[in-house]
């Protein structure tokens, strides 16, 4: 039996990851979340019916909580963080506080354990996104070893990226100092059913369902890749289960798709699948600090564990649209 702790478990990645890990009958899950942003909906309730799942509602920024945690975990997926681009601008101080404190306390807890679990820390491509705007140089496709750049400490946009940048340093050096295995994953625009309402694809879908016309589009000529969540969590599990990621120095690994697409073309795909489009588009500039291009080099994860995305963007969007049709934003 493998005992696994997942923090931020009610979120999009946490729910999909939990569902995927339960396909292995040897896995026992302890799921932790403060329910501040997520909720126990029908999808998550289904997980809780499994006898191999335990849920704990807790605030991971409270150090006393860690005294109540079991000490025999084999793996820890630390997903808990305040995410969502709007929140970076609206409450950067909370993004900084929550994301940094939860990681520090998790690492201090692992430090004190006799049996040390393997840790997966979810970083972000935001951690190096400033390189393109600041220095007009960012290798595309982007490998893992590029410089991490916070282009403007006064721009609230970078509150999240800064927690991921410093988070990577914490994980690298705690793992080395206290001798436990860890892997850093940099997600590249994960999407799919139940992925919240504050990201670009859910926001586009919501506006289409509401038939907003003129239709606002921010950064229409920016590019992204989008990785379907069930594919993404499979990659995370493969990295965590691989003996190749048990050694020092720890691995930092991109997970993402390879089909770079203009935001305007993404929107046209959604119009086509849903079967509605506005008479007029309201094209607007990207928010300050937004990144022009994102395309991950995923050679490393292919070589380490043989992972690559399996779901085409069209198929993933169809499944995502269907979920949001049945679970509209309230």
In a domain, 164, yes or no: yes
In a domain, 290, yes or no: no
**Number of structural domains in the chain:** 1
State pTM to two decimals: 0.95
In a domain, 213, yes or no: no
Q: How many residues in the chain?
A: 330
C-alpha span between 1 and 19 (Å, rounded): 17
What is the sign of the dihedral through the CA atoms of 138, 141, 146 and 152?
A: positive
In a domain, 304, yes or no: yes
| CB 208 within 8 Å of CB 276 | yes
C-alpha span between 167 and 215 (Å, rounded): 37
Instruction: From residue 269, give the alpha-carbon distance in Å to each of 7, 204, 263, 281.
Output: 34, 11, 10, 15
In a domain, 128, yes or no: yes
Q: What is the pLDDT of residues 198-248, one digit of tens each?
A: 889 999 999 999 999 999 999 999 999 999 999 999 999 999 999 999 999
In a domain, 329, yes or no: no
| CB 253 within 8 Å of CB 144 | yes
**DSSP class of 148:** P
Q: What is the pLDDT of residues 64-91, one digit of tens each?
A: 999 999 999 999 999 999 987 788 989 9
In a domain, 100, yes or no: yes
| CB 81 within 8 Å of CB 12 | no
| CB 234 within 8 Å of CB 307 | yes
In a domain, 323, yes or no: no
| Structure tokens belonging to residue 157 | 């946009």
Q: What is the pLDDT of residues 19-68, one digit of tens each?
A: 999 999 999 999 999 998 888 999 999 999 999 999 999 999 999 999 99
pLDDT for the residue 289: 64
| CB 248 within 8 Å of CB 180 | no
Res. 127: pLDDT tops 90:
no
Which residues on neighbouring strands pair with residue 223, listed in sequence order?
Answer: 262
Number of alpha carbons in the 13 Å side-chain half-sphere of residue 47: 26
Instruction: Kindly report the CATH number assigned to the domain that includes residue 140.
Output: 3.40.50.720
Domain encompassing residue 14: 2-195+226-258+295-311
| CB 165 within 8 Å of CB 150 | yes
C-alpha span between 62 and 6 (Å, rounded): 17
Buried b / exposed e over 33-48, threshold 16 CB at 10 Å, is: bbeeebeeeebbeebe
Which H helix or E strand runs over 223?
strand 223-224
Maximum mean pLDDT: which of 144-148, 151-155, 213-217 = 213-217
Residues 6+ apart with CB under 8 A from 80: 7, 8, 11, 32, 33, 34, 60, 98, 102
Instruction: From residue 235, give the alpha-carbon distance in Å to each of 128, 167, 172, 231.
Output: 21, 21, 20, 7
| Structure tokens belonging to residue 167 | 């988070």
| DSSP strand pairing (261-262 vs 223-224) | antiparallel
| CB 160 within 8 Å of CB 82 | yes
C-alpha span between 219 and 175 (Å, rounded): 39
């Amino acid at each position: 039996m493998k005992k696994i702790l997942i923090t931020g478990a009610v979120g999009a990645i946490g729910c999909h990851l939990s569902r995927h890990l339960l396909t292995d009958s040897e896995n026992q899950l302890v799921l932790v979340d403060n329910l501040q942003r997520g909720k126990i909906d029908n999808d998550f309730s289904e997980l809780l019916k499994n006898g191999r799942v335990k849920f704990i509602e807790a605030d991971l920024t409270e150090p006393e909580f860690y005294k109540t945690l079991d000490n025999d975990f084999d793996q820890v997926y630390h997903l808990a963080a305040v995410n969502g681009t709007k929140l970076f601008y609206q409450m950067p101080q909370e993004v900084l506080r929550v994301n940094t404190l939860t990681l520090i306390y998790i690492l201090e807890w692992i430090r004190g354990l006799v049996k040390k679990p393997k840790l997966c820390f979810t970083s972000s491509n935001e951690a190096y996104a400033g390189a393109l705007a600041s220095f007009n140089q960012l290798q595309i496709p982007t490998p893992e070893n590029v410089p991490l750049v916070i282009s403007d400490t006064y721009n609230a946009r970078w509150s999240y990226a800064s927690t991921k940048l410093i988070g990577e340093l914490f994980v690298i050096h705690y793992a080395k100092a206290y001798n436990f295995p860890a892997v850093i994953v940099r997600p590249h625009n994960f999407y799919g059913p139940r992925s919240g309402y504050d990201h670009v694809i859910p926001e586009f879908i919501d506006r289409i369902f509401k038939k907003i016309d003129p239709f606002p589009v921010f950064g229409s000529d920016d590019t992204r890749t989008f990785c379907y969540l069930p594919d993404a969590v499979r990659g995370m599990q493969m990295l965590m289960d691989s003996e190749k990621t048990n050694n020092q120095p720890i691995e930092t690994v991109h997970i993402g798709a390879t089909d770079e697409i203009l935001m305007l073309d993404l929107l046209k795909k959604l119009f086509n699948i849903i079967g509605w489009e506005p008479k007029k588009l309201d094209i607007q500039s990207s928010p300050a600090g937004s990144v022009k291009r994102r395309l991950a080099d995923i050679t490393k994860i292919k070589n380490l564990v043989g992972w690559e995305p399996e779901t085409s963007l069209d198929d993933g969007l169809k499944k995502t649209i269907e979920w949001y049709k049945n679970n509209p934003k309230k």
